[in-house]
């Protein structure tokens, strides 16, 4: 029963990570003057500052999502300890939230630290899947 509860929370973690690109898109576009919904990619390509950084964070979120989601599934199927798997999954979510916040606010070094920690967590999921 405990494992089912952990699996439910991990599905929720995957869902949150799946929504992160959309959250970044909202940050990039919210309150913008002259937003062109007919050609949003061309409009976005001309943005600077936090809007451009939010868009870059959005793209990175799309890249990170499958690696994380598959890692969770493989570790789960591989019989990884549920408590450990849950902790690693939520650690990744926290690192991604911090990463996005640092990206949008232009804290490049700290952003890289959070990216590396999140990436390490995902690699650890694959290690858990193997052992």
- Residue 48 φ then ψ, to 5°: -130, 175
First-to-last alpha carbon distance for the chain, in angstroms, is: 23
Q: In sequence order, which ranges of 30-107 are alpha helices (DSSP H)?
A: 40-45, 49-77, 82-104
Give the integer Cα–Cα distance in Å for 29 and 58. Answer: 12
Q: What is the pLDDT of residues 30-64, one digit of tens each?
A: 988 888 889 888 989 999 999 999 999 999 999 99
Q: What is the pLDDT of residues 96-130, one digit of tens each?
A: 999 999 999 999 999 999 999 999 999 999 999 99
Helix axes 2-29, 49-77, angle to 10 degrees: 160
> pTM here?
0.90
CB hemisphere CA count around 96 (13 angstroms): 29
Is the distance from CB of 73 to CB of 125 less than 8 angstroms? no
């Amino acid at each position: 029963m405990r494992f089912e509860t952990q699996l439910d929370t991990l599905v929720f973690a995957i869902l949150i990570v799946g929504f992160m690109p959309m959250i970044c898109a909202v940050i990039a576009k919210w309150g913008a003057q002259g937003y062109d919904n007919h050609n949003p990619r061309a409009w976005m390509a001309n943005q600077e500052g936090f809007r451009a950084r939010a868009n870059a964070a959005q793209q990175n979120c799309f890249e990170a999502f499958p690696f994380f989601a598959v890692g969770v599934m493989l570790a789960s199927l591989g019989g990884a300890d549920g408590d450990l798997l849950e902790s690693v999954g939520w650690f990744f979510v926290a690192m991604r939230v911090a990463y996005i916040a640092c990206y949008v606010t232009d804290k490049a070094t700290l952003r890289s630290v959070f990216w590396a920690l999140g990436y390490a967590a995902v690699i650890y999921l694959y290690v858990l899947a193997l052992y």
